[in-house]
Amino acid sequence: MIHASELRLDVVAAVVVPTVAAVLLLALTGGVWHRLRRVARTLLVAVSAVAVLAAAGAGANLLGGFFPTVGSLIGSSPDPGEGSVADIGPDGAGLDAAMPLVAARSAQGLGSTLHMTLHGAVSGIDRDADVYLPPGYTEHPRARFPVVEWLPGFPGEPREVAALFTVPDVLDAAIAAHRIPPVVLVVPDINGEPRFGHDQECVDAQHGAADDTYLTTDLVDWTTRHLRVRPDRGAWALAGWSSGGYCAMNLALRHPRTYALAVSQSGYDRTPDDVVTGDLFAGRPDLAAANDVVALLGERPAPLAMLVTAGSDEPEERAAADRIRAAAAPPVTVDTRLYPGGGHNQNAVRAQLPDLVDWLGAHLLGPLVPPATPAGVTIDDGPGVPQRVLPVPDP
């Protein structure tokens, strides 16, 4: 039996049904208006208005490609692991058991997206996460790989990155073409449940969850402990779309010891204060400024390379990109890109992804393998140990 969240919104039927309903209701309203009491008239008008709005919204959604399913609209899915090839359980306990599957896929030039739930020991947050292990991960057992934390927008969840935006497929193709080195992709849930009314913009809110801590401490700690990744900041990037784009820039500027790169796709420069988000900082201007991208750029941050993009049909995001570019000064570099015709929807995200991946490939440090350890000698594999570059493997 199909789950309600799986119902398609990107098909003609999704427009036809509410349109027919609206026409019938309007015809009914005109035919029986004089026979109805005031309350019944009001109710019929309200229902007709809802049907008209639903028809208009469905038409705009079909043209714009905003939400392909009911689940993508409300941020809910019957299968949080959709798009993954294996579920490795709480805190990735089944990671080792999944390695034969990862190796088999790697031999075909394919990466593997694994689903898990991650408990934040410091933040206390428990949420879903997906991990993409690139082709070559199992063939080079001593190699350490660069990392990209990819942050979905609101009210999104990790599965959308694979199931809707096909980021793993884009990475497979880019790695095979040597446009980006083999990279580990970590996709956390930045929103949690319930999704509506729970937009915290990846910050440690005054009266909410410690999202910043979860994403930059708990997630990083798990990744460095359980996956073979490089610990140095030049091998770590944050990337995201919409609110995820704001999150990527804000967190990278706030945690320069961890990240050297940030990609914002149609993001903005400060947290909104609206009916969904509210005042995340409880009226404290110091906390608001500490999570304002433009303000942070004025505080002489560490070296950071940023890519900030917007579509030509996104005036607010374009204005934010202009403010960010104007505020940036060495050692920060900001590359801004305007995509003609690009709107705030999944079609634009998918169309721009190869360009974003190429930018990451040009800036991320590649995989490294530490030198062989002499017999009887123990060395520290930390950032200070001399390492040699691992050539990008052919998948």
Sequence-distant (6+) residues with CB within 8 A of 383 are 231, 232
SS (H, E, C) 181-222: CCCEEEEECCCCCCCCCCCCCCCECCCCCEHHHHHHHHHHHH
Cis, peptide link before residue 181, omega less than 30° from 0: no
Domains of the chain, by residue range, sit at 4-73, 80-369
d(Cα 243, Cα 291) in Å, to the nearest integer?
Answer: 13
When mean pLDDT is compared across 153-157, 235-239, 387-391, the lowest value belongs to 387-391
Contact 76, 5 (CB under 8 A): yes
Give me the pLDDT at residue 18, please: 67
- Which residue, 180, 159, 188, is CA-closest to 235? 180
d(Cα 53, Cα 322) in Å, to the nearest integer?
Answer: 34
Contact 254, 212 (CB under 8 A): yes
Q: Which two tokens stand for residue 85?
A: 């090839």
Query: How are beta strands 304-311 and 332-339 bridged, if at all?
Result: parallel
Of the CA atoms within 13 Å of residue 392, those in its CB half-sphere come to: 18
Q: Is 300 left (phi over 0), alpha (psi -120 to 50) or beta?
A: left
Question: Please, what is the average pLDDT of the chain?
Answer: 82
DSSP-assigned beta bridge partners for residue 239: 150, 263
Q: What is the pLDDT of residues 120-151, one digit of tens each?
A: 999 999 999 999 999 999 999 999 999 999 99
CA dist list (Å): 300 to 53, 81, 232: 48, 41, 21
Q: What is the pLDDT of residues 68-101, one digit of tens each?
A: 555 545 544 545 568 899 999 999 999 999 999 9
Amino acid (1-letter code) at residue 82: E
At the second CATH level, the architecture of 80-369 is: 3-Layer(aba) Sandwich (3.40)
DSSP class of residue 155? T
- Sign of the Cα torsion 193, 197, 203, 209 reads negative
Q: What is the pLDDT of residues 209-244, one digit of tens each?
A: 899 999 999 999 999 999 999 999 999 999 999 999
